[in-house]
Structure 1
Amino acid sequence: MSKTFSVFKNPLYTKLFLANFTSQMGSVISIAAFMFYLLDRFGDNPAYASAAELMYSLPVLAVFFLVGVMADRMDRRKIAENCDWLCFGLTLGLIGALKIGVMPLIFLMLFLISGVQKFFAPAQSGIIQGVLSKEDYTAAAGLNQMVSSIFMLVGNGLGIYLYWKIGIYGAITANAVSFAVSALLIRSCRIPDQVRMPNGNHSIKDLDFKLVVNDFKLGMKYILNDKLLLSLLSGFCIFGIVNGGFSVMPIFIMKYKLAPNHYEEYSVILGIVFGSGVLLGSLIASAVASKIKLINGLIGGLFFSGFFVVLSSFAVNPFWFFTALFGTSLALPFCNIAIGGWMPAIVDPKMMGRVQGWITPLMMLAQSLMLAIISFTFPSVLSIEGLYWIVGGALILVSFIYYYLLPKYTDEVHWKAAEEKAV
């Protein structure tokens, strides 16, 4: 475990970690508060809550062909910093839209904020890959998973608490401040030019249509020529379905089945249970990462998390639902740490942005489709149990896909790189 935290000896990584933590925490608080604002104001129409989640995922379909190319061709530090500043301004615009009370304008601001945020991850991933050694990739993936568990543990509850105490405007203002702090942290980083601009110095004028299309095709060819990478990406569409479902399902099952009169209070407990499970699972997965093969952790984590998701649909009271949910959250970190530690080890640093540029749209397309299906079919066609069966079944399906494909396309070079990184 001490090895996991040793990456903080790298001051550049520490600043980037804090910038990402600050920005994400603000967003988690804001999203949670906004979800309960919509459920409070439009409780008879759950489609608004699903539509709001859709505005967070749909924008990637408008910018997916640009995000990876820009991360590989332009200054990654400037991209990450400017994303934060733009989100800061747009979040203030969201407050204005809420004051006016026009729903289409509110959804437009959510769409724009999410669209800008999509440029952040590929740029930051490329920077982190460049400032860490291969031996530190799994440790960084473990830390990212722990941070995600902390968000799950306190983010939802903190968002609800702020919504109760200072209202929706206060919660969104906290998000705006978090973007500003993140931008200032990134600005303070002194990152080597070869990490910021691995393919040379380019300006926005250089990114003409032909270059963007060629680079996007190059990323596709790179993935298709690497069977292991292609095998990993084959499951990301189903991950999108899972993310889309989980963004609304836990709140829906509380409000519309298990605790309709106390869903807000139980949602706080839900976040604590799920976050605790992910945090414990992250600690266990990080501790055993050097003792088990990454592929075993990935496949086992997917299968057992899917099993517990299906099991949770049969819960008749919050206690049994939380018990099954804890099992799901305990298994998920094994998947995330395996993928998070594996990807940087097998992707050329000069291609990381373009590879990320393909991963995100695959996931977000599936996530958007899932949210759209939920918006139009729940509860008139799909029951809450049906949603859990779809998501749990998707996780189990991916485990079988990976069980079949990954060993088939894994060669000695890839295994050696992945295993040396995990030791």
Structure 2
Amino acid sequence: MKTLFRNPTFCRLFFASVASQLGNVVGNMALAFYFVDRFSSQPALATTAELMYSLPTLAVFWLVGVAADRFDRQRIAAWSDWIRAGLTVLLLLFVLSDLFFLTFLTLFLRSAISKFFGPAEMGLLQSSIEPDQYVQASGLNQMVLGLFMLFGMSLGATAYQFIGIEGAILLDGISFIVSGLLIGWGKFDEKARVPNGAHRLRELRFPLIWQDFREGLRYIAGNRLLVIVISGFLFFGVVNGVFAVLPLFAMKYGLSPETYVVHSSLITVFLGIGVLAGSLLGPTLIRRFSRTRTLIAGLFLAGALIGGLGLAERVEVYFALMLIAGIAIAPINIALGSWIPELVPPQSMGRVNALIEPVLMLGQSMALGIIALAFPAWISVTWLHYGLAAITVGVSTFYLSTLPAMVRSREAVRAEA
């Protein structure tokens, strides 16, 4: 871990990511509280806002990977931040005017621009650290995620209570400016910025985009292990979609309707503590038991715990189960997050990563869409937990039946080579 922070390029990317996530979490959570508080009879508004964060991936995924592999990744990442900062000003105006259509449209556009950040930042990061540091970097990212889970909803609730929705959205915009400056003023090797050589924007025509998109598809299709790993991201999208609103809905419409703001914030605190603990434990488990075993066992345990959340009748029990679930979830994310860079070369990372994102967001959009349409008329909070538990156990069973044989086959081929 110390070696990573001795790398100034990694530090710059790391703190830029932290700055961007900080504002996103505070702004998004404050907006969710705003909708639930002011329009409590319309829970679909909060769900629709979350949907605007995931749907844009399905609109731009075919372009973002090509851009990250063809153009300057540093400029793409920096301008993604700065454009989102400008859109945040419009978001503030529309929210204060109760213009829901324009609010959701702006959220959609902001999210669409953000999709260009991920593949570009991942490409810069992959070329800035050594392959044996991928697990450490993934574990560190999970720790940051745990911190945001730990404090994110609490910060959102605090911001909403003390500086209002206006202050929370402004903080969101400032974070994008800081992140963009950290990346834009950084010095990155040319190989990291343009691994396939420099290209001009006017060269970006549809035949070239389609050609690069097909190459990404062909690369994934030609690597069966990569196909199996990526297929699981559909499940993680469903998990992200459900968990985006589950803590808030579980308290507001279930266990604690009178004090839902405090208790929903505490849920993310316990989940964040669990993720932090799991992030510290994850690399050790992967080294001792292998990535495959850690992934499958973590999924089985997480599925059982999520089912238990649906049975909980007391807030204290819900908190305890959420803590343990966080410990189980973190090693899963570390296993997958460190696997992708090992399977994909730097010159193809943008296109492959851009194809992973829509799979993830498809699952998230499906989950949020179902919740927006069916909750609370046809689906209760309890059945949200049961459904998610069933999906988790199903994915773990799928991985159990496919991954071990695939990994053994890959290791045998590498040993012969």
TM-score over 0.5 for the pair: yes
What stretches of structure 1 move > 4 A for 4+ residues in a row? 411-417
Q: Counterpart of 1:226 in structure 2: which amino acid?
A: N
Partner of residue 344 from structure 1, selected from 329, 341, 344: 341
Matched residue of 1:45: which SS?
Answer: coil
Residue 97 of structure 1, CA deviation: 1.0
Separation in 2, partners of 1:394, 1:72: 34
8 Å Cα contact 1:346-1:414 kept in structure 2 = no
The answer to whether 1:291 aligns with 2:288 is yes
- Are 2:209 and 1:212 aligned? yes
Matched, 1:397 2:394: yes
- Report the residue type matching 1:249 in the other structure: L
State the distance in 2 between where 1:138 and 1:381 align: 42
**Residue pair 2:302, 2:392 contacting (<8 A) in 1 also:** yes
Distance in 1 separating the partners of 2:17 and 2:71: 20
Q: Which runs of 5+ in 2 are unaligned?
A: none
8 Å Cα contact 1:259-1:266 kept in structure 2? yes
Asked if residue 70 in structure 1 is aligned to residue 73 in structure 2, the reply is: no
**CA-to-aligned-CA distance 1:50-78 (integer Å, 9 cap, x gap):** 10100111111110100111111111000
SS in 1 for 2:316: helix
Query: C-alpha deviations, 1:191-242, integer Å up to 9, x for none?
Result: 1111111111112211100011111111111001001101101111121111
2:128 pairs, out of 126, 131, 143, with: 131
Q: Return the letter of the residue paired with 1:32.
A: M
1:96 paired residue number: 93
Q: 1:367 aligns with which of 364, 367, 379?
A: 364
Between the aligned partners of 2:155 and 2:364, the Cα distance in structure 1 is 25
Equivalent residues in 2 for 1:146-157 (5 A)?
146-157=143-154
Question: What residue number does 1:406 align with?
Answer: 403
Judged with a 3 Å threshold, the aligned counterparts in structure 2 of structure 1 residues 224 and 169 are, in CA distance, closer, same or farther, namely same
In structure 1, how many angstroms separate the alpha carbons of the residues matched to 2:413 and 2:191?
26
Distance in 1, matches of 2:247 and 2:89, equals: 29
Asked if 1 retains the 8 angstrom alpha-carbon contact of 2:231 and 2:359, the reply is no
Verify the 8 A CA contact 1:278 1:329 in the aligned structure 2: yes
AA of the residue aligned to 1:67: V
Superposed displacement of residue 412, structure 1? 6.0
- Give the aligned partner of residue 55 of structure 2: 58
Q: Is the 8 A contact 1:66 1:212 kept in 2?
A: yes
Q: Name the residue aligned to 1:226.
A: 223
Q: Which aligned pairs between 1:234-383 and structure 2 lie closer than 5 A?
A: 234-383=231-380
CA contact (8 A) 1:310 1:388 kept: yes
Deviation at residue 416 of structure 1 after TM alignment? 9.9
* Matched AA of 1:320: V
Superposed counterparts of 1:28-177, under 5 Å: 28-177=25-174
- One-letter amino acid matched to 1:33: A
1:288 CA drift (Å)? 3.5
Is the deviation greater in 235-244 or in 53-62? 235-244
Letter of the 1:212 counterpart:
I
- Aligned residue type for 2:108: F
Provide closer, same or farther for how the CA distance between residues 162 and 415 of structure 1 changes in structure 2, counting only shifts above 3 A.
farther
**Superposed displacement of residue 148, structure 1:** 0.1
2 CA distance for matches of 1:271 and 1:29?
13
23, 27, 34: which is aligned to 1:26? 23
**Count of aligned positions:** 414
Report the Cα offset of residue 305 of structure 1. 0.9
| Matched position secondary structure for 2:377 | coil
Q: CA 1:416/1:294 → structure 2, altered by over 3 Å: closer, same or farther?
A: farther
Three-state SS of the structure 2 residue aligned to 1:291 is helix
Does structure 1 conserve the Cα–Cα contact (< 8 Å) formed by 2:285 and 2:294?
Answer: no
SS at match of 2:289: coil
Counterpart Cα distance in 2 of 1:393 and 1:386: 10
The answer as to whether partners of 1:12 and 1:190 remain within 8 angstroms in 2 is yes
Cα offset, 1:403, TM superposition: 1.0
Sort the Cα spacing of 1:167 and 1:416 in 2 relative to 1 into closer, same or farther, 3 A.
farther
State the shift of 1:286 in Å.
2.8
Q: Structure 1 residues 381-390 or 403-412, which shifts more?
A: 403-412
CA distance in 2: counterparts of 1:120 and 1:184, whole angstroms: 14
1:196 to 188, 193, 201: 193
In the alignment, structure 1 residue 187 sits paired with structure 2 residue 181: no
**Displacement of 1:413:** 5.2
Paired residue for 1:421?
none
Amino acid at match of 2:157: I
Task: State the TM-score, normalized to the length of structure 2.
Answer: 0.97
Identity among equivalent positions (%) equals 41
Amino acid at match of 2:241: G
Contact between 1:5 and 1:139, CA under 8 Å: does it hold in 2? no
Cα shift at 1:262: 0.4
Q: Say what the alpha-carbon RMSD is for the aligned residues.
A: 1.3
Q: Say whether the 8 Å CA contact 1:152–1:271 is kept in structure 2.
A: yes
* Distance in 1 between residues matched to 2:341 and 2:74, nearest whole Å: 18
Q: CA deviation at 1:292?
A: 2.3
CA displacement at 1:388 relative to structure 2? 0.8
Letter in 2 for 1:323: A
Q: TM-score, normalised by structure 1?
A: 0.96
State the alpha-carbon separation in 1 of the partners of residues 327 and 360 from structure 2: 22
